[in-house]
């Protein structure tokens, strides 16, 4: 992704996106961990490991470290359903604290896709958090009411960072068509190769990854 003067401060969107993801975990039941999600590679358990790992890795980046390497797990260990709310909230708090200093937004960091200013890297974290929040909400049947503001930044980031054409070398299926009046979450999901109308009953029909 390339830096652009109009790129907004992604921290408010990140705070809201991580907050609503954390709220989705309240009341998580053991039987839901094996449920499918719109992200074909992940069931709910794997998705929670991934989003917690994303928070930990981008927290490490904000603290001056790397998104890879010793002590920066990509996946959280498998946990019982009742442990996930607190586990994710701790990762969320660390992530938000790591980027509290305004100077981190302009500092050059090495994100998974290249060396960029911090605000660009953090916008990518917003994209990941929002789309996987939608994945989780759909899997749990709780997607109504997701905030549109973080999704708007996530969609702008996705359209800038993920090409519309061939995606042979990136972990997303081709973009799917959506109606002109589709909501921002559906547009984001479709751009990243997901079925914007996915439900647990449609699982297995082929959906976006990553």
Phi, psi of 100 (to 5 degrees): -70, -35
Residue 166: other Cβ atoms inside 10 A: 8
- Could you tell me the pTM of the whole model? 0.90
Residue 174 near residue 193, CB atoms below 8 Å = yes
Q: How many residues make up the chain in this entry? A: 210
Place of tokens 């959280």: 76
What would the two tokens of residue 43 be? 């069931």
State both tokens at 198.
């996915």
Specify the pLDDT at position 2: 47
> Residue 175 burial by CB count (10 A; 0-12/13-18/19+): exposed, middle or buried?
buried
Low-confidence ranges of the chain (pLDDT < 70): 1-6, 69-74, 166-171, 203-210
| Close Cβ partners of 195 (under 8 Å, ≥ 6 residues apart) | 38, 176, 189, 202, 205, 206, 207, 208
Segment 72-125, tens digit of pLDDT: 666 777 799 999 999 999 999 999 999 999 999 999 998 887 899 999 999 999
């Amino acid at each position: 992704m390339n830096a652009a003067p109009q790129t907004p401060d992604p921290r408010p969107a990140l705070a809201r996106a991580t907050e609503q993801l954390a709220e989705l975990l309240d009341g998580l039941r053991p039987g839901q961990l094996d449920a499918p999600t719109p992200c074909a590679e992940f069931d709910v358990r794997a998705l929670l490991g991934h989003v917690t790992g994303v928070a930990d890795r981008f927290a490490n980046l904000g603290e001056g470290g790397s998104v890879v390497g010793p002590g920066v797990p990509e996946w959280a260990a498998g946990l019982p359903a009742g442990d996930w709310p607190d586990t994710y909230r701790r990762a969320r708090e660390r992530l938000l604290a790591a980027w509290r200093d305004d100077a981190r937004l302009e500092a050059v960091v090495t994100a998974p896709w290249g060396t960029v200013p911090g605000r660009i890297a953090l916008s990518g974290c917003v994209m990941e958090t929002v789309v996987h929040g939608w994945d989780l909400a759909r899997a749990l049947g709780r997607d109504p009411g997701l905030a549109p503001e973080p999704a708007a930044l996530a969609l702008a980031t996705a359209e800038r960072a993920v090409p519309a054409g061939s995606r042979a070398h990136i972990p997303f299926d081709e973009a799917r068509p959506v109606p002109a009046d589709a909501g921002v979450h559906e547009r984001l999901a479709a751009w990243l190769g997901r079925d914007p109308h996915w439900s647990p009953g449609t699982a297995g029909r082929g959906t976006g990854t990553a």
